[in-house]
Every structure is written in C-alpha cells, then in structure tokens.
Chain A
Amino acid sequence: MTDLPFWAEIAVSVFLVIAGVFGLVGSYGLIRLPDPMTRLHAPTKATTLGVGGVLIASMIFVFATEGRVSLHELLIALFLFLSSPITALFIAKVHLHLREDQSTLPQPSDGLGWAGYTVETPARGVRESLDESDDAESR
C-alpha cells in the first residue's frame, strides 16, 4: 500500500463512493424506467458523473502519491463527452424508426418533416438499387 496522506485518502474515497453511487443508479435506471426512450436518459447522464468521479479520484491519487498533475483524465472526460451524445443519438434514431412515426411526434413549424423520416438514407438507397438489379436479372 502506498503512503497516501490522510486528506487525499478521504478525498479519493469520497469521489470513488460518489462515482460508484451514480454508476449504480444509472444502471438501476435501465431496469426501472418504463420504456426505451426514458431508459436512454439514465445511462447517458448518471454515468457521466460516475466516470467523472473516478477520474477526479484518479487525479487526486496521482497528485498525492507522485506529486505531479496528471491530465490524462481530462482527455478521457473529453472523449466521453464526444461519444456519449452520439451513442444516445443512434439509439434514439433506431427507436424513432422502429417504435414511432411522424404522427406521434411534434412537427417542426415550417411544414417540413424530421430529417430521419424524410431524407433518403444511404442504406435504403442501397437496398433499392439492389432490388432493381434483382428485377433486371429476373427479367
């Protein structure tokens, strides 16, 4: 065991406990919330602070034991902030396509629809061109 000063021991423990609690609550939310869209909220938020707490604890630990400032952790936080909204967006889009349609959503005011429904997606385009080539062959 490394010799950690008392204040650092307390601070590291506090942040680790906070992080653990939020991580646990985020995962519990996955079970408890009623439908896919609300379930999406729990892990995207609660775990941000969960990971953040571990990172702060790690920075304090490195500072107290080795006496240098470790900034690795900021980078982890940055990548988390970049990736977590994108993951959430992907899941939300899948939900929009499978479980919702235009009639259950509020519409944008200027009469155009949501991009996910109206813009031709590449996947759909590819499938259509494949169908056409199938037709051509059968003829």
Chain B
Amino acid sequence: MLKRLFPHPLLSLTLVATWLLLVNSVAINSIVFAVILGLAIPAITRPYWPDMPRLRRPLVVVQYVFVVLYDIVKANIDVALIVLFKPRRDLRPAWVCVPLEIRTAEAITVLAGTITLTPGTVSCDLAEDGHAILVHCLHAPDPDAVRDDIKARYERRLKEIFE
C-alpha cells in the first residue's frame, strides 16, 4: 500500500520541498498542496520512469554536492582569469574523450551536467553505446590530466552513489 502510494519516496520529498520553496512559506495550506503534488506527480509520471535508481550512499551525495560547489567557484575564477589575462595564442582548447565506467543513465546525466558546470570543460556528446563522453576544454595543455581528474573527482563518487 505504502509502496503504491509512494512509488518514489525521494521524488515525492523533493517535490514537497521544491513547492514549499516556491511559495516561500510554511503555512498549512501550502503544505497540504505540496503533499498533493508530491503524491500526484510521481504517480502520473511513473510509466515514463520505470526503473528509477535509488541513491545508495546519501553521505556521498552531500560530499559530492560540496565538491561540485567548490569546483564551480574555482571554475568561475579560473575562467575569468583566462578570459581577462590569457593571450589568445597561449590558449589551448582541446577535445577530450572520457571513457565511462558508470552505466546508469541518471548517473551519466549528472556527470555531464557537472562537467559543464566545472573548470573550463563542457560536455558535448555521448558515444553511441554510452560508454564514453566527449568533452571540450577551454584550456588544456594536458588533456589526459583533465580526463583523469574527471574520473577521479566525479565519476568515482557517482559510481558509489548510483551503482
């Protein structure tokens, strides 16, 4: 019964929290509406998302969020410095192919988003079989180091979280 009511408890919780943030108040009527949304949306969208992955290591999720936030700040400063001070001829843009060990679609999506948000890299395409991701680097004198960095910093943690 509980399982049918909450097919994705985490999704329901996220929806409730999002709605409460949207209305920006914790009044009884907004909580009631938030719970209604939290029940209805997962039930309606369930057929489209049959095997939603569960998060295995909640603590690693928290750690991942902070690592990414730190990297975003660092990325902003790095990119700003490159834009302002690096002469064009010293710029070394590069395409990098990052082979993936993670296989869950959701994990790959999170990884691609993270890559785009962090130091001088944008994820551009996925291999046909989903086993590699194409990344463009703004300034990468050493493309292999970028690849290893992505694998060690993000992919390892995502693998722990999703698989």
Residues of A within 8 A of B (CB): 21-22, 25-26, 28-29, 32-35, 37-38, 40-42, 44-46, 48-49, 70-72, 74-75, 78, 81-82, 84-86, 88-89, 92-93, 95-96, 104-110, 112-116, 118-119
Is A115 in contact with B125, judged by CB distance below 8 angstroms?
yes
Shortest Cβ-Cβ A-B pairs, 7 listed: A108-B132, A49-B76, A85-B116, A29-B83, A108-B127, A92-B124, A85-B113
Is B136 in contact with A75, judged by CB distance below 8 angstroms?
no
Chain A interface mostly: helix
Chain A residues within 8 Å of B131, by CB: 108, 110, 112
CA A24 to CA B97, docked complex, whole Å? 31
Chain A residues within 8 Å of B75, by CB: 45
Chain B interface mostly: mixed
Is B126 in contact with A115, judged by CB distance below 8 angstroms?
yes
Is A70 in contact with B24, judged by CB distance below 8 angstroms?
yes
Q: What are the interface flags for B65-87 relative to A under an 8 Å C-beta threshold, 1 for contact and 0 otherwise?
A: 00000001101110110011000
- Distance to closest chain A CB from B24 (angstroms): 5
CA A135 to CA B31, docked complex, whole Å? 59
- Given that A46-B80, A92-B124, A115-B127 are contacting pairs, would A106 and B96 also be in contact in the complex, using a CB cutoff of 8 Å? yes
Chain A residues within 8 Å of B91, by CB: 33-34, 38
- Distance to closest chain A CB from B65 (angstroms): 10
Is B122 in contact with A40, judged by CB distance below 8 angstroms?
yes
Is B128 in contact with A114, judged by CB distance below 8 angstroms?
yes
Is B132 in contact with A89, judged by CB distance below 8 angstroms?
no
Is A89 in contact with B21, judged by CB distance below 8 angstroms?
no
- Distance to closest chain A CB from B99 (angstroms): 6
B22: CB under 8 A from chain A?
yes
Partner pick for B22 among A75, A95, A116, CB 8 A cutoff = A75
CA A41 to CA B43, docked complex, whole Å? 39
